[in-house]
Amino acid sequence: MLHAKESASVQEVRVKVEKAYAAFLKYLAYDQQRVDAIVEAMGAAGRANARRLAEMAVEETGYGNVRDKIVKNLLNSDLLPRSIRGMKTVGLLREIPEQGIVEYGVPVGVVAAVLPTTNPTSTVFYKTIISLKAGNAIVISPHPRAAKCTKAAADLMYEAAIKAGAPEDIIQCITEPTMESTRALMRHERVAVILATGGHAMVKAAYSSGKPAFGVGPGNVAVYLERSADVADAVAKVVEGKAFDYGTVCSSEQALVAEEALKPAIVAELKRLKAFFCNEEQKRALEKTLLKDNFRINPECVGQSPTRIAEMAGFRVPEDTSIIVVELQGVGKEHPLSVEKLSPVLALYFVRDHAAALDTCEALTRFGGLGHTCVIHSKDEARIREFAERMPAMRVLVNTASPPGSTGITTLLQPSMTLGCGAMGGNVTGDNVGPLHLINIKRLAYQVRTAEEALPIPAEYKDLEAKPAPLPAAAAPVSSGIDRQAIAAAVERYLAERGIRTAPVNTVDAATVAAQVVDRFLSKKRVAPPPVCPCAQGPGACQIAAPKPAPAPAPEQPAAPPPLPPAPEIVIADFVCENDVREAIAAKKKIYIGPKTIVTPSARDLGTQHDILVLAKR
């Protein structure tokens, strides 16, 4: 049973999804020009309020810092709208006359947006802008610890969209989010696709909801500082990326790997940039503070400053410390700080050679960051390409800090806050998710060739053209390998051994022989007349010859009941859609489905809810 708050929140989800869906149906009539005007207005509103919302996010969540959260807000209200300006997403997309293909953009419908606590306002900008750019409506589910600032950002986007001419209710936000309301949102029949950003459990719930979903995996970003790199430039960018918003970006650097020969130069640069190096005792204290059981990150440590992290671990660092550095000797469970840390704490590895550096970077990526992001600083193009081909990551960045590189600030990747990890990371895509992921493409295709031109038949098959399949010939007798005459002879011997003599048979064929032998055998089994008494006692006295009395007649049986009427025939549906289920609900009927029946997700959800679908076995 749901608690009162959860019940009210679930009801709020239902109402707001229906409102968003109604708005989406109106939004379908908007052309590209009207859609783009709405997106531009939303971007302008985000830029004007970037600082205010950054301050709200830090105050409410306690994560990160205002300066870097402003950068995140501008990424999604300035760079993102500029990068998608001119992108066609609705109506006619393109024509390819030489191929006879015309493509149209088709919005997916209502987008369910699940938001994190680490980047609450910037993710609202990002998800609302790409959803409305693609012609969709959106319903936002904030993280409970960031509900206030998330709602403020959503209201800002909504007001800007309405002023630019968007339909009312096109952007909706849940005011009192709960886990139950988030699940209800992801499973709602009107929701077309899910954009999930958050922890592993939330992303897993999105993928198991039965809806198409774009989620992300954790990032354990390894950085290889290769021999040919500019050490000072590379170290500065690593510190910049690790310190950005106190490590809350999933693509922030987690470990720096280099050859032993570079150690003096790298350590000197890190210290120059105010990095604090932990001793063994401090390292063990950090392990206990940052991580909980099963390598889960302590949420109290996420996005905290270096001084705060050190204080929580029981030691002090200078106030101007940029990041905390711990040198490690291996990767895996025996080395807890080799995982993603979501804080300004950097692991440092020095290895013997290039091969060992590649091995370490790959091991780090596989240990909790599979498919996400990795970085190389190098001037050697051959080694850059070798690194890219070797690493199990969907983004391989070169000579840049990781957070701005992965999100499209310092690279020309699609500006995005949802960085897919591909199939290897359990995600549906390895892309930086953008508007084109939230549309379907309908294609008009003209005939441009004949079947013979597309698929010419090889010469050796020409004799098969236009010939009807031959009718099956009459079945010829198939030899079973059994000698029927030998069987007949064996039966004769069996009868003779038991004193049953038969007349010789002039066998004509095997079938006749078998029939005659069987007839003779059965004739010997017929009931013989009673034997004549050999004694003088006379009939009735002799027990041998006395006939047995006839059995008493059986009592009269009652008449058999009339047969029952035949059971009604069950028709198993081949395909069931949502409308079929609604009609069955109205008619108070069941829909019988079999193992091969195709049932749409919305039909299955609605049918299960109303107990309409019945699995029938043929």
DSSP string, 8-74: HHHHHHHHHHHHHHHHHHHHTT--HHHHHHHHHHHHHHHHHTHHHHHHHHHHHH--S-HHHHHHHHH
- Angle of helix 263-272 relative to helix 231-243, nearest 10 degrees? 50
Cβ 409 vs Cβ 79: under 8 Å: yes
Q: What pLDDT band is residue 537 in, cutting at 50, 70 and 90?
A: very low
- State mean pLDDT over 75-95: 97
Query: Is residue 500 over pLDDT 80?
Result: no
Cα 225 to Cα 524: distance, rounded to the nearest angstrom:
103
* Residue tagged active-site, from 149, 173, 250, 361: 250
Residues 332-336 have a mean pLDDT of 93
CATH 3.40.309.10 fits 221-412, yes or no: yes
346 vs 202, 323, 494, 595, CA distance in Å? Answer: 26, 7, 95, 53
Whole-number average pLDDT of the chain = 87
pLDDT (average), residues 450-456: 91
Nearest residue to 337 (alpha-carbon basis) of 392, 290, 302, 301:
290
Provide the 3-class DSSP secondary structure of residue 346. strand
What is the predicted pLDDT for the residue at 295?
Answer: 80
Instruction: State residue 7's pLDDT score.
Output: 82
Residue-wise pLDDT for 557-590, tens only, equals: 555 556 655 656 678 887 787 888 888 898 888 8
Element (H, E) at 213: strand 213-214
**Exposed, middle or buried by CB within 10 Å (0-12, 13-18, 19+), for 513?**
buried
State pLDDT tens for residues 36-61.
999 999 999 999 999 999 999 999 99
Among the residue ranges 78-82, 202-206, 512-516, the one predicted with the least confidence is 512-516
The 10 Å CB-count burial string (b at 16+, else e) for 5-36 is ebeebbebbeebbbbbbbbbeebeebebeebb
Measure the CA–CA gap between 243 and 68, rounded to whole angstroms.
10
Rounded Cα gap, residues 205 and 601, in angstroms: 16
What is the C-alpha separation between 489 and 479, in angstroms, rounded? Answer: 20
Mean pLDDT of 127-138: 98
Question: Under a CB-based contact definition with an 8 Å cutoff, are residues 274 and 329 in contact?
Answer: no
Joined tokens for residue 548 = 């047995």
**For the CA atoms of the chain, what is the radius of gyration?**
40
Inter-residue contact 290 to 297 (CB < 8 Å): yes
CATH 3.40.605.10 location in the chain: 4-215+438-445
Residues of the chain with CATH 3.40.309.10: 221-412
Closest CA to 20 of 197, 191, 206: 191
pLDDT confidence bin for 540, thresholds 50/70/90: very low
Stretch 151-167: mean pLDDT? 98
Q: How many degrees, rounded to 5, is the angle at CA 300 between CA 296 and CA 306?
A: 105
Q: 171-198: per-residue pLDDT in tens?
A: 999 999 999 999 999 999 999 999 998 7
257 in Cβ contact with 391 (< 8 Å): no
Task: Assess whether pLDDT exceeds 60 at residue 27.
Answer: yes
Q: Is the pTM of this model over 0.85?
A: no
pLDDT at 5 over 80: no
Ramachandran angles phi, psi of 567, nearest 5°: -65, 145
CB-based contact 546:530 (threshold 8 Å): no
Per-residue pLDDT, averaged over 119-124, amounts to 97
Which is nearest to 410 in space by CA: 233, 283, 617? Answer: 233
CATH class entry, domain 4-215+438-445: alpha beta
| Coil vs helix vs strand at 514 | helix
Q: Which of 48-52, 212-216, 511-515, 610-614 has the lowest mean pLDDT?
A: 511-515
Name the percent of the chain lying above pLDDT 70: 82
Q: Which residue has the higher pLDDT, 206 or 66?
A: 66
- Cβ neighbors of 575 (< 8 A, separation 6 or more) are 597, 598, 599
pLDDT in tens, 215-270: 888 899 999 999 999 999 999 999 999 999 999 999 999 999 999 999 999 999 99
Please answer whether residues 205 and 186 qualify as being in contact, where contact means their C-beta atoms are separated by less than 8 angstroms.
yes
User: CA dist 208 to 108, 216, 430, 615, Å?
Assistant: 19, 14, 19, 22
Q: Would you say residue 479 has pLDDT above 90?
A: no
Tens digits of residue pLDDT in 523-533: 554 554 555 44
Closest CA to 344 of 292, 400, 401, 303: 303
pLDDT of residue 507: 44
More confident residue, 491 or 379: 379
The whole-angstrom separation of Cα 509 and Cα 126 is: 90
Helix axes 32-48, 50-61, angle to 10 degrees: 60
What is the SS3 assignment for 95? strand
Q: Quick one: average pLDDT of 351-374?
A: 97
pLDDT value, residue 216: 86
Sign of CA dihedral 489, 492, 498, 501: negative
Task: Give the integer Cα–Cα distance in Å for 197 and 125.
Answer: 13
Give the chain's largest Cα–Cα span: 139
Residue 367 confidence (pLDDT) above 80:
yes
- Residue type at position 176: E
Q: What is the mean pLDDT of residues 546-562?
A: 54
Q: Is 266 helix (H, G, I), strand (E, B) or coil?
A: helix
For residues 312-326, give the mean pLDDT.
Answer: 97
Q: Is 250 a catalytic residue?
A: yes
Contact present, 614 and 589 (Cβ < 8 Å): no
Burial of residue 406 (number of CB atoms within 10 Å: 0-12, 13-18, 19+): buried
Calculate the alpha carbon distances from 246 to 197, 269, 365 in Å: 19, 20, 21
* Mean predicted confidence (pLDDT) in 140-146: 95
Among candidates 136, 259, 121, 270, which has minimal Cα distance to 190?
A: 136
| Nearest to 580, CA basis, from 594, 590, 566 | 590
Per-residue pLDDT averaged across 411-418, rounded?
96
User: Do the Cβ atoms of 615 and 572 come closer than 8 Å?
Assistant: no
What is the mean predicted confidence (pLDDT) over 372-394?
A: 98
What average pLDDT does the segment 114-141 reach? 97
Q: What torsion, rounded to 10 degrees, do the Cα atoms 393, 394, 400, 405 define? A: -140
Residue keyed to tokens 């783009």: 36
